[in-house]
Amino acid sequence: MLKLLLAALISLFLVAEPVSAAGAGAGAGAGAGAEKAGSAKGKRPVARKKVVKKTAAKARRKGKRGKDLAHAVASDGRQRLVRRVETVRGKRRVTYHVARRAGPVIMAPALRTVGDMAGLHQTRDALSLRSSVALVLDQNTSEVLFEKNANVALPIASITKLMTGLIVVEANQNLNETLIITNDDVDRQKYSSSRLPVGARMTRNNLLHIALMSSENRAASALGRNYPGGINGFVAAMNAKARELGMNDTHYVDASGLSSRNVSSARDLAKLVAYAHQKPLLRQYSTDPNWVVEASGRPMRYNNTNYLVALPDWNIGLQKTGFINEAGRCLVMQAMIQGRNVIMVFLDSKGKMSRTADAGRMRRWLEALTPDTLTPSAATGAATTAASAASEAAHAAQAAFRQVTVPAIR
């Protein structure tokens, strides 16, 4: 009986303990929930700040990783692929291409002209000309107004085309005849560009026009190639005309002037300008600011290579420009300044605009002169030393010319 009573008391004790424990757990849970809710209400702004700080820190880490990755890719020598998405016939196509990497920039050394090799650029003058060679003549009296290295034979580039035009005009060929540009007219020396494609058809008149006005190389080549006897006969006629005009320092090898073996002196070119100025067609075609010609029935606008012809304060009767690396910038002109007809020649000028700038300097100098001040000592005193230096440099220039091996770019 005692045992039964003891067992019943133990059972009641065991049952009461879990219930109280459960109640305590429930109460504790409720209290904890209330406490957590209160804590959440009080700490919510702090939690947001932490999220913002974490996001900013994450972005900084991501940016740093991106920079590190970009630096690693840039310094890595392996090939990289670029993903490209295209739509072809309504279908999406993804392709991968090898990314090209820019190589190191290598500065090419400045190209030296034949005049530089002969030391002509060291000749100083009173006008601080950028041209190594200069000559100004009174066209009516042949009086030398200014000269600098005028007797030195140098490459003349597209000044050659002035003789080309002269031969075409004096040959009395049919200017309305249609000529065709062929592969023989493509520049294989300087690989210069041209707007005339192989197969283009153009009249001899238009080819002459753009050869003189715009210095079109394929046009000049086609003119020479369609001369009786071909290009060889044409070049022979050019050299014969030079001898006839007393141009003893001049020699031609082609009709375009792309070869550096087309050489002449400033004094010889002054003779050519004076003679060519007598031809109305050469005067007009060389000084037109622009013109529209037809090639295979398609109109094409060409501009003059000498912008001075379009300026109202210049009265230019004939002109021609030229440039190849061996020759530098060249310019010959006939112009009227202060009522005086003058012939100007500038060879081996340094800088793209330097030849026309030298023409402007010379014009201002001539405009400032009066008949009283125009004496041999005043007009040519600045070039006396240059003239003597030219005679000494002539042989050096020719020797330097024969040693030129640097390819030029038209």
Closest CA to 321 of 303, 308, 305, 336: 305
330-to-52, 135, 259, 351 alpha-carbon distances in Å:
70, 12, 14, 11
Q: Tokens standing for 90?
A: 């309504």
- 131-138 sheet: strands from edge to edge: 144-148, 131-138, 340-349, 328-337, 316-324
Pairing of strands 290-295, 178-180: unpaired
Give me the count of residues in the chain.
410
Q: Left if phi > 0, otherwise alpha if psi is -120 to 50, otherwise beta: which for 123? A: beta
Q: Which helix (H) or strand (E) holds 99?
A: none
Residue appearing with tokens 């190594």: 132
In DSSP terms, which residues pair with 133 in a beta bridge?
A: 347
259-to-110, 190, 231, 244, 303 alpha-carbon distances in Å:
20, 8, 14, 23, 23
Q: Are 219 and 256 in contact (CB under 8 A)?
A: no
Tally of CA atoms within 13 A in the half-sphere of 322 that contains its CB: 34
The residues, any chain, with a CB within 8 Å of residue 396's CB and separated by 6 or more, are 117, 118, 119
8-state DSSP, 37: H
CA 119 to chain CA mean position, Å: 27
Q: Are 351 and 130 in contact (CB under 8 A)?
A: yes
The sign of the dihedral angle between the CA atoms of 138, 165, 159, 331 is positive
Q: Are 344 and 321 in contact (CB under 8 A)?
A: no
CA distance 47 to 51: 6
Active site residues: 158, 161, 215
SS3 call for 208: helix
SS3 call for 323: strand
